[in-house]
Structure 1
Amino acid sequence: MTNLTVTKAGNGAGSVTSSPAGINCGATCAAQLLQGTIILTANVANGSTFAGWSNGTGNANCTGTTTCDIPLTVDSTVIATFTLNAVPVSVTANVASGNGGGGTVTCSADGGTAGPCGSYLPGTAMVLTATPNSVSNFTGWSGAGCSGTGTCDFTVTSATTVTANFNWPTLTVQVVGTGSVSSNPIGINTCTTNCSAPFSKGVVTLTASSTGFTGWIGGGCSGTGPCAVTLNQNTTITATFVAPPPPMTIDRAGHAAARLANGQILITGGFSSSTFPGPPLDTAERYDPTTNTFTALAGRMRSARTGHTATLLLNGQVLLTGGQIDTNNGDGSNGAELYDPATETFTAIAATMTVPRGAHVAVLLPNGKVFLAGGFNMGFTDIPFAHNTAELYDPATQTFTAIAATMTSSRSDHPAATLLPNGKVLIAGGKDTFNNILNTAELYDPTTQTFAAITATMTSVRLGHRATLLPNGLVLLTGGVNLLNFSTPPRGTTLSTVEVYDPTAQTFTAATATMASPRVLHEATLLPNGTVLLTGGANISTNSAIVLNTAEVYRP
């Protein structure tokens, strides 16, 4: 007896039988047979092909696809290979729309022209391409081992299903602080925390609702107006709200304010009566930007004052000068005092200004001295006498010295002044000796101690307004009145308008934004974060005069 072994190979199906019987591979692939001629026959299953005999040993030197005739005299082996017939199988591309998106998928077989997907022979190289519609994004594949947003490339081995995911872009709004945001088209409605919604690609306009809205971040938006974002992909936008400042501890107009070295705002004096020019106050309070609170100070000023000035000195103390200190005719004062933040006390200065001044201006110069100019000598019940003079206060000697040069115009009744980046001082508006409210302005040069008129004029005549140097080097001019009748109570037109002075171009330009309340005889103080705190003042109209305790913030 001699051994004969048959081995099957390939991915197809079939069997091998022998004559005489003994091999049925199938189940029996090895047998001991009598020596002699053995005939092996390959039997093919449906869907397969017999590929042939190979790798024979002993007497089994068979090839081809016919029978394998073996003159069996020694142990022999042979391999029979069956292969699976190439039958087309399906490639299916599904479109998934998670939130309203849509698109199409095309198939390209073996580098051919792209078109609808169908059935392909195993071994075919497939490239599937997803194309979103005009308002959607393609967000990725699933199936066939594909992912990402490129093409889906694979080789066909069996029936395959691939899914292309299309979605509208998602807009996410993050609300910081207390406020709400809504969208047009509808999708985000009165969002007060974090909200997301899908939108078809295009322009979505967000609107913030709150008095403390400070601006947008993201989506190409900034400022405090509506945010029109062109939504082409998932986008996150932050809306920031800051609580508006609360009321002061009392209503004040004609007060003076100065930012202290610690960033807090000292607010002093003024008047709190609607009877203009009401009795002056000797009280003071502080505003803390970090806690957004006003706190009354226990210490009292050495003199009750309104229409005075408050200037932070280089040593951290605050110089208070002049103003109206009596309750009768409102004459200007020539007195001054110092506030010490360390002890929260006020101390009178022995020296006096060279002339009494009320409703004047005071500006700290780079050399540490204080420039004082204009104002009135006589009060509201007299014919006002507007100064065109100026002087300097020297903190080192605590003395006042007159400046020889005079302003190009007499200015009283609260003109506005501020130090410019070039070291000069802007003085704008006020009222002249003929009771004309001014729209003119001039510059004081500390180097030459001279005054020069500015050709450009303000966009409106103003008195009782304020000038604040912004971090960008421009000057913000706020409020005031453009018409005033010193009756009892006074009558006039208080402004809510704002304008900006450009020191480089020496021009005045009206700003689009207006104050929340018309204000005159208010204060406008730059905060450490670059915004401007506006406090108190009066709202004088043709039939009333109201002293305010409110505050608001201007955000450049």
Structure 2
Amino acid sequence: MAPRFVRSTLLAAALASLTPACREKEVRPALDLLTASCAGTQPLAGVTHLRFRVTGPGLDTPRERVSTVNWTWMEDVPTLPPGLERVLEVRAYVGVPDQGGQLVSLGRSVPFTVLDGEDEPNPRVRVVLRRLGEFVPVNLASDPRTCSLPAEARAAHTATTLPDGRVLIAGGYRPEANGTRPVSATTELFNPAEGTFIPGPDVGARAFHTASLLPDGRVFLAGGAESFAPVALQSTARLLDPRTGARSELTPKVARYQHAAAVDAKGHVLLVSGRAADGGTVDTLEGFDSATGRFVYHPAPFDFVDAALTVDPSGQIFQVVGGGTVVGAVRDVVAFSFGDDDISSLATGAELRVPRVGAAVALLGRADEDPLPLVMGGFDGVDPEKGARPVGASEFLKGVILAEDGPALMPRSNLCAVTLPDGRIVALGGRGTGIGTTYAVPWVELITPHAGAQPTVLGLSLMPQPRVWHTCSALPDGSVLVVGGVDDSTGEIRANTEALVVMPPPRD
């Protein structure tokens, strides 16, 4: 038997070693790993090894464990200290990682919290493993071999990613082979955690409208075409609270469709340009103050049609990018800001290197990388049938007075561009030109920023069908949801009925 003072010393040392653990108990997340897909290449096809990787604030380096494909929860999922915004990532390899193994599939959890307390349960997290770069239909989480379809085929609709990760899909028209375009008043809520589309409240028939996410989580839907034969416009706007389903109807000063909208950090929404029912340009620049529920106006006419609209990284200044007039495509970047009761234009503005109509703008870079708006695509004239060509050059907006060259992209207009949680941009589809005609294209590009250097552009797999007038939404796990659109690349009108999801390769 050990002497009493030796036993006492050992006990004190043991208690001292346990003290930090009592203050900060580490836990192992309970992992629900979904490894099947309803179509395409199965995520584990050919896979031999998995890497379990956890990141989050306070973790200087990721916590990682590598296992064979026959993983076990107790041995292979890393333990974690308490903290916020933990993300569990699973990477699947053909071959041994770090020894030439090829990364082929990837899945991430939504950010979760590890609580500090003896009685706190292990957090349960779900990871959907997806084949890198492959467009596949959405599958149900409850039955991964079953594809999940939207209730309606839609084009010229909106898709708004909500704070809880769900996507609100609203309105649009149904492309018919005979050329008719019946307009929808319905909404659907896509839940990425379950892979389900649930009917939402009606918002009035509208297509080519806008939907803006407000800082308080509500969605402001404005304008749109109510029908196309003949063209009739939706005269109302709707405020929708997706959490409660509450709706309120508002009446803007001007009805419009094919316009642009953006929202600043204080919840002001700017509505720019668009078309009237007779096809003419709407020259009233109108804003909505979500804090007071009032509409405000810019006193001077503004008649750029098919312009893009963005908000600078400060969240205070709107920038209207390009567009067309009766004279032709313009290079202007016009800046506006909200006052107490009006909208004012700034005296200075940048000038694009290339005039463009129907461009897209997305923010490139994470918040810690000094992100900049990147202008992509568009036509260099108003009418492609009269010689206007799609633009392949992109441009950065640096403040409100300067535009600089960005990377070269595939030339097209009306593309869909979305910023991923890691600061990269995915650009999908759009409209290209052939001999005397325009058509939807299937091109997909991944744009990655680099400090002090030009971004790199990686071409991803083509979409299964070309698309224009579709939507693209960044999901919490870093994948992209693509919904609806029109495929007219063969001369026939075809609706894109499936909702597709694609997982880009990781940034690191």
TM norm. shorter chain > 0.5: yes
Shift of residue 285, structure 1, vs aligned partner: 0.6
Partner of 1:311: 212
Distance (whole Å) between structure 2 residues aligned to residue 347 and residue 486 of structure 1: 45
Partner of 1:417: 361
Q: Name which of 257, 260, 267 aligns with 2:162.
A: 260
Partner of 2:24: none
Give ranges in structure 2 of 5+ residues lacking alignment: 1-32, 37-41, 49-67, 72-89, 107-126, 132-136, 140-147, 303-318, 330-355
1:143-222 aligned at under 5 Å gives the runs 177-178=35-36, 179=42, 180-182=44-46, 194=70, 215-216=91-92, 219-220=97-98, 221=101
1:266-305 aligned at under 5 Å gives the runs 266-274=168-176, 275-276=178-179, 278-297=181-200, 299-301=201-203, 303-305=204-206
Distance (whole Å) between structure 1 residues aligned to residue 291 and residue 170 of structure 2: 23
Q: Name which of 291, 305, 308 aligns with 1:396.
A: 291
Distance (whole Å) between structure 2 residues aligned to residue 378 and residue 437 of structure 1: 27
Q: Secondary structure at the match of 1:325?
A: strand
Partner of 1:534: 482
Partner of 1:363: 262
Q: Name which of 219, 222, 238 aligns with 1:321.
A: 222
CA contact (8 A) 1:363 1:418 kept: no
Higher relative contact order (CA 8 A, sep 6+): 2
Q: Secondary structure at the match of 1:181?
A: coil
Q: 1:496 to 1:177 in 2, by over 3 A?
A: same
Distance (whole Å) between structure 1 residues aligned to residue 208 and residue 217 of structure 2: 22
Distance (whole Å) between structure 2 residues aligned to residue 496 and residue 291 of structure 1: 28
- Higher mean Cα deviation, 391-400 or 262-271? 391-400
Shift of residue 304, structure 1, vs aligned partner: 1.0
Larger radius of gyration: 1
Shift of residue 533, structure 1, vs aligned partner: 1.0
CA contact (8 A) 1:462 1:480 kept: yes
Partner of 2:382: 433
Q: Secondary structure at the match of 1:525?
A: strand
Shift of residue 222, structure 1, vs aligned partner: 5.9
CA contact (8 A) 2:395 2:406 kept: no
Distance (whole Å) between structure 2 residues aligned to residue 258 and residue 239 of structure 1: 22
CA contact (8 A) 1:375 1:413 kept: no
Q: 1:418 to 1:399 in 2, by over 3 A?
A: farther
Q: 1:495 to 1:300 in 2, by over 3 A?
A: same
Bigger share in strand: 1
CA contact (8 A) 2:442 2:462 kept: no
CA contact (8 A) 1:475 1:501 kept: yes
Distance (whole Å) between structure 2 residues aligned to residue 292 and residue 520 of structure 1: 24
Moved over 6 A (4+): 387-390, 484-487
Superposed CA RMSD: 4.2
Amino acid at match of 1:470: L
Q: Name which of 251, 258, 264 aligns with 1:350.
A: 251
Q: 1:182 to 1:470 in 2, by over 3 A?
A: closer
Give ranges in structure 1 of 5+ residues lacking alignment: 1-174, 185-191, 196-213, 227-237
Shift of residue 347, structure 1, vs aligned partner: 2.4
Distance (whole Å) between structure 2 residues aligned to residue 247 and residue 337 of structure 1: 26
TM-score under structure 2 normalisation? 0.55
- For residues 483-508 of structure 1, give each alpha carbon's deviation from its aligned partner in whole angstroms, at most 9, with x where no partner exists: 38999xxx724323335274965657
CA contact (8 A) 1:337 1:348 kept: yes
CA contact (8 A) 2:215 2:266 kept: no
Q: Secondary structure at the match of 2:46?
A: strand
Q: Name which of 471, 480, 500 aligns with 2:447.
A: 500
Q: Secondary structure at the match of 1:280?
A: coil
Q: Name which of 543, 546, 554 aligns with 2:491.
A: 543
Q: Secondary structure at the match of 1:182?
A: coil
CA contact (8 A) 2:175 2:486 kept: no
Distance (whole Å) between structure 1 residues aligned to residue 180 and residue 359 of structure 2: 17
Q: Secondary structure at the match of 1:296?
A: strand
Distance (whole Å) between structure 1 residues aligned to residue 228 and residue 436 of structure 2: 16
CA contact (8 A) 1:309 1:321 kept: yes
Distance (whole Å) between structure 2 residues aligned to residue 374 and residue 467 of structure 1: 21
- For residues 101-125 of structure 1, give each alpha carbon's deviation from its aligned partner in whole angstroms, at most 9, with x where no partner exists: xxxxxxxxxxxxxxxxxxxxxxxxx
CA contact (8 A) 1:361 1:414 kept: no
Q: Secondary structure at the match of 1:455?
A: strand
Amino acid at match of 2:160: A
Distance (whole Å) between structure 1 residues aligned to residue 159 and residue 190 of structure 2: 10
Shift of residue 465, structure 1, vs aligned partner: 1.8
Amino acid at match of 2:193: T
Distance (whole Å) between structure 1 residues aligned to residue 499 and residue 190 of structure 2: 10
Bigger share in helix: 2
Shift of residue 270, structure 1, vs aligned partner: 0.7
CA contact (8 A) 2:105 2:129 kept: no
Distance (whole Å) between structure 1 residues aligned to residue 434 and residue 218 of structure 2: 35
Distance (whole Å) between structure 1 residues aligned to residue 103 and residue 270 of structure 2: 36
Amino acid at match of 2:158: A
TM-score under structure 1 normalisation? 0.51
